[in-house]
């Protein structure tokens, strides 16, 4: 192989390498999915309460989230999967092409979301259901379980992840739509935990 050929090969490899956990060289959809599963669990169903399950989300919502991470518009916590390397979603998304994002989003949209079994406060969940029906159901229908809303699935999601997202949204660290901001202003501080209890009760 001459120098010109080596340079061409290096350019090709550089264009397809992605910085995923565990230094996985993602050259195909199956490789990308395997890398994503390191944090998000098998087929996108997470086993860690700090990481959301993404199986069954709509393709549109996943693409939107990834584009926000890629642009640096959505905060991303550092995370180290078992046996992998510490990374975050902004770093991962920035190394993905638009085609990669579209492909991996379509992949997880085809998976089945499995509500997470976890303890919850039934009394608080009942109050949370009332708050949800009044302020959230229009955009997060079926109690936050309908992926066709093109919003994240909230029902059956991890408690730890939901609590973290509410903190980020209320602090202004995580940017949201004007419509969501308006709704969140109507959610009282004492109603946030009941809302979370309601979502995790949907098992």
| Residue 40 annotated as lining a ligand binding site | yes
Buried b (16+ CB within 10 A) or exposed e, 32-58: bbebbbbbbbebbbbebbebbbbbbbb
| Residue 36 annotated as lining a ligand binding site | yes
| Residue 136 annotated as lining a ligand binding site | yes
Q: What is the pLDDT of residue 27?
A: 55
Q: Which domains are seen in the chain, by residue range? A: 3-109 (1.10.760.10), 122-201 (1.10.760.10)
Q: What is the pLDDT of residue 19?
A: 41
Closest C-alpha among 174, 17, 26, 19 to residue 91: 19
Q: What is the pLDDT of residue 4?
A: 44
From residue 141, give the alpha-carbon distance in Å to each of 39, 95, 130, 162.
Answer: 27, 33, 13, 17
Say what the alpha-carbon torsion angle 172, 176, 177, 183 is, to the nearest 10 degrees. Answer: -70
Q: Is 180 exposed, middle or buried (0-12, 13-18, 19+ CB in 10 A)?
A: middle
Backbone dihedral angles phi then psi of residue 108, each to the nearest 5 degrees: -70, -25
| Residue 39 annotated as lining a ligand binding site | yes
Q: What is the pTM of this model?
A: 0.84
Q: How far apart are the first and last CA of the chain?
A: 58
Token pair of 82 as six digits: 């078992």
Task: Look up residue 24 and give its DSSP letter.
Answer: -
Query: How do the pLDDT tens digits run along the chain, 203 residues long?
Result: 444 444 433 343 333 333 444 334 445 999 999 999 999 999 999 999 999 999 999 999 999 999 999 999 999 999 999 988 999 999 999 999 999 999 999 999 999 999 999 999 999 999 999 999 999 999 999 999 999 999 999 999 999 999 999 999 999 999 999 999 999 999 999 999 999 999 999 99
């Amino acid at each position: 192989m001459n120098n010109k050929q080596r340079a061409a090969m290096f350019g090709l490899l550089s264009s397809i390498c992605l910085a995923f956990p565990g230094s996985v060289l993602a050259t195909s959809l199956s490789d990308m999915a395997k890398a994503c599963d390191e944090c998000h669990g098998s087929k996108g169903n997470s086993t860690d309460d700090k990481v959301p399950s993404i199986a069954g989300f709509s393709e549109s919502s996943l693409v939107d989230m990834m584009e926000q991470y890629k642009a640096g518009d959505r905060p991303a916590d550092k995370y180290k999967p078992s046996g992998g390397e510490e990374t975050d979603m902004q770093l991962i998304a920035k190394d993905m092409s638009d085609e990669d994002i579209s492909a991996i989003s379509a992949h997880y949209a085809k998976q089945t979301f499995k509500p997470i079994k976890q303890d919850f406060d039934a009394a608080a969940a009942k109050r949370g259901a009332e708050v949800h029906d009044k302020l959230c159901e229009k955009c997060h229908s079926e109690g936050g379980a309908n992926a066709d809303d093109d919003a994240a699935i909230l029902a059956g999601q991890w408690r730890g992840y939901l609590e973290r997202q509410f903190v980020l949204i209320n602090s202004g660290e995580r940017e949201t739509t004007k419509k969501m901001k308006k709704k969140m202003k109507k959610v009282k501080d004492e109603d946030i935990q009941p809302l979370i209890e309601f979502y995790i009760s949907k098992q």
